[in-house]
Amino acid sequence: MLKHYNPEIKYESISGVYANSDGSKTVGLNIKEAGSDLSDKMAMRNAGNDVLKTWDAFKKSKGTNFANIAIMVTYPTNNGQIPIIKVQISGNKLKSFSKTSSSSSSVPSIATKYWQRNDMPALK
């Protein structure tokens, strides 16, 4: 489903619980960034844009009845892929999300929960 709405994103894994006992749904995604020749600032911008595109794909699919969508974006280093951003968004927040009025710098304020590596630049 996500590949249909966003074929350019390279999802490493997608998992989820689609029928919790309370009827809610939750999903987790890992996005594997490539291009270790990018600056840290560009890597963060790309990661933020991939998060926005993923949220947009869920919204286009009418997949807003999820209780939670968690995304982890990893980036290549000499020590292998490391997480640089972890975000969560609730289905209710996703319903009001608009990709056209968002930029990578708005990801932390849109997300229900947001984490990024301390040694990476802030999304601006």
Quickly list DSSP for the chain: -HHHH-TTS-EEEEEEES--TTS-EEEEEEEE---TTS-HHHHHHHHHHHHHHHHHHHHHTT---EEEEEEEEEEEETTEEEEEEEEEE-HHHHHH--GGG--GGGHHHHSSEEEE-TTSPPP-
Predicted confidence (pLDDT) per residue in 37-96, tens digit: 778 888 899 899 999 998 888 888 876 677 788 899 988 887 888 899 999 998 888 888
Question: pTM to 2 decimals?
Answer: 0.85
